[in-house]
A and B are shown apart, each in its own frame.
Chain A
């Protein structure tokens, strides 16, 4: 089983739609969780951290379910500029070090 699993998509959604991505992780000892965004032929960049209580940043909402070992990202009112690949990231952080594992990414295409 992969350490971090995501549906690679693509998800094709119209502008203004709400879209949700899920991601599951295998190691229950994982410490911290993130969503990164990667534009075509660019480097990944941090989109947002994911906290146990859930957190929101504008149109983006991230949630963590430790019991079921999954995290989610919800994008409301999709914009054309949201088209990108969204990477689920898990940090196992053994002994205070970092063991950062990326999912394969979910590709989102927002259509006019």
Chain B
């Protein structure tokens, strides 16, 4: 079975450029999460969608970050303009939200370096 698919796996860009990260969740899952991981701060939740609707975006750092989920099988996280402090590994995860349980399945991550 296909897991969560993220692209690109690696991205190196220059400050000020737009970055778009993509995620395809596991088919049938109704919850999708974007996390950012750094050594200093660990895994931070950026945004959570349930049934394609953003439920919690309190973790989105600032207006430079935006996320969309136009349908159940695709989501994007966009950073515009990018800054060096955005360098991190960005993980997408999906789950079947059955109340308060539900294992999160992570993609392999997108490693972003902003120069």
Within 8 Å of chain A (Cβ to Cβ): is B8? no
Set A96, A100, A104: member contacting B104, Cβ < 8 A: A100
Q: Are B106 and A97 in contact, with the CB atoms below 8 A?
A: no
- For A31-69 the 0/1 string (1 means CB < 8 A from B) is 110100000001111100100000000000000000000
Determine the chain B residues whose CB is within 8 A of the CB of A101 once the complex forms: 45
> Size band of the A side of the interface?
20 to 34
Residues of A within 8 A of B48 (CB): 97-100
Q: Give the size range of B's interface with the partner.
A: 20 to 34
CB neighbours of B106 from chain A (8 A): 43-45
Name which of B56, B97, B100 has the most chain A CB atoms within 10 A of its CB. Answer: B100
B92 nearest CB neighbor, chain A only: A43
Residue from A87, A98, A103 with most neighbouring chain B CB atoms (10 Å): A98
